[in-house]
Amino acid sequence: MAGYSRTDDSPFGRWWRNVDRTTLVCTFILIGFGYILMLAASPAVAVRIGASRNMFIFKQVMFLSVAGVIVTGVSMLSRRTVLRLSLIGGALMLGATMLTLVHGIEIKGARRWIALPLMSLQPSEFLKPCFAVVTGWLLTQRRISRYFPGMLIAFGLYGLILLLLKSQPDIGMLTVITAVFLVQLFVDGLNLIFVGFGFACMIAAGIAAFFIFPHVRSRVERFMHPNVGDHYQIDTALRAFGNGGLMGRGPGEGRVKDLLPDAHADFVFAVAGEEYGLVICLLIICVFAAIVVRTLLRLIREDDPFVVIATTGLLTGFGLQAFVNMASTLHLIPTKGMTLPFISYGGSSAMSVALAIGMVLALTRQQPGGLRSGNGFISTLRQWRSA
């Protein structure tokens, strides 16, 4: 990158100097893992459903290519443009989420998708990053203008999303968005007592979901009682990790992809464990952790509350999604159909996560009015809490 020195004043040169290149590189490493694991996992799944062996590969190559463009393109935007994109995109995706209840595709009893010519769109995936940015702005604006009902609007928006996701139903997405909102409220300076009350409500809602939704009850019971019910998928996934050992059986030598219907999606981490071993699985985990930790460390020096609150929400959604997928594959939590960012098959997942990471890179990029000299956000947060 010698051509993009400090004397290069082109838009790309300025972007390259100021963007968090570590997070950018880690993101493209995950996209690379997505290509490799789709080559490993998807042909067997495609053949099993009577499709062309390369169907999922061709589609995912297209999805990940678009995702790479989205990450790069969105990361070049200004903070003001990111906010405008989130406001407009959030409104459109909120309307599309409402539309799924009427004209959505029903899969396994849930209406979460809208049929498009080349893919099925899950609007709530895109609603998640837009919600994090818009909520960050609302919570910040109420600090600037005492008459602006930012907190009230944020709770109203969350309540509307809660009703929509419950109606689909999509308990997993609702849990992630709730966690994003609670973390943002804490970072905004909300008293720990209220944050604890929020998490208590979240636990109560989870208990209610156990009794209301049969599929939730089934997953929890199978997790709590290993000898009851059908454990075929999770047992097969755990055997795959055991077969892979430290270095794996080798590319193409795995068998879990021939046995699990979602080996290319929800259980792609098991394919990685069997064919590439513990070392590669740990590397994938480290790359996810590097993105989250690196950005949080960058936020410590940030003194723009909007950037801190919005970016923390984006990171919470990204990190929690990765954790849920890997933990459920390893049977550390009840199984949940949630994709592994950039690695599992899925157009909506790949592009929505790309949007979120692009926003993170744009918001944390050093810009005029950003990363200003001063005490940073930590001291600002302390001032708010003591006010």
Tens of pLDDT, residues 89-101: 999 999 999 998 8
Q: State the pLDDT confidence band at 130, using cuts at 50, 70 and 90.
A: very high
Lowest mean pLDDT among 78-87, 300-309, 351-360: 300-309
What pLDDT sits at residue 40? 87
Q: Is position 104 within any domain?
A: no
Residue 12 lies in a domain: no
**What is the domain count for the chain?**
1
pLDDT category at 372 given cuts 50, 70, 90 is very low
Is pLDDT above 80 for 206? no
In a domain, 320, yes or no: yes
Q: Is residue 144 scored above 70 in pLDDT?
A: yes
Q: 7 pLDDT band (50/70/90 cuts)?
A: low
Looking at the domain assignment, is residue 306 inside a domain? yes
Check residue 63 and give its pLDDT: 93
Percent of the chain with pLDDT over 90: 44
pLDDT > 70: percent of the chain: 86
Q: What are phi and psi of 149, to 5 degrees?
A: -80, 55
Confidence of residue 380 (pLDDT cuts 50, 70, 90): very low
For 294-304, write each residue's pLDDT tens digit.
999 999 888 88
For residue 202, pLDDT beyond 80? no
CA separation for the pair 26, 29 (Å, rounded) = 5
Query: What pLDDT, on a 0 to 100 scale, did the predictor assign at position 29?
Result: 96
User: Does any domain span residue 112?
Assistant: no
pLDDT on residue 374: 37
Where does the pLDDT of residue 371 fall: very low under 50, low under 70, confident under 90, or very high at 90 and above? very low
48 compared with 353, residue with greater pLDDT: 353
Predicted pLDDT of residue 2: 47
| Amino acid 261: pLDDT | 80
pLDDT (0 to 100) of residue 284: 96
199 found inside a domain: yes
For residue 213, give its domain range.
18-86+167-363
More confident residue, 114 or 383: 114
- Residues 315 and 44 sit within 8 Å (Cβ to Cβ): no
Flag whether pLDDT at 110 surpasses 60: yes
**Whole-number pLDDT of residue 148:** 86
Confidence of residue 175 (pLDDT cuts 50, 70, 90): confident
Q: Closest Cα partner for 341 from 47, 33, 106, 69?
A: 33
| The pair of three-digit structure tokens given for residue 67, joined into one six-digit string | 């995702």
Residue 271 lies in a domain: yes
228 pLDDT higher than 70: no
pLDDT above 90 (res 260):
no
- pLDDT per residue as tens digits for the range 29-50: 999 999 999 988 888 888 888 7
The reported pLDDT for the residue numbered 230 is 62
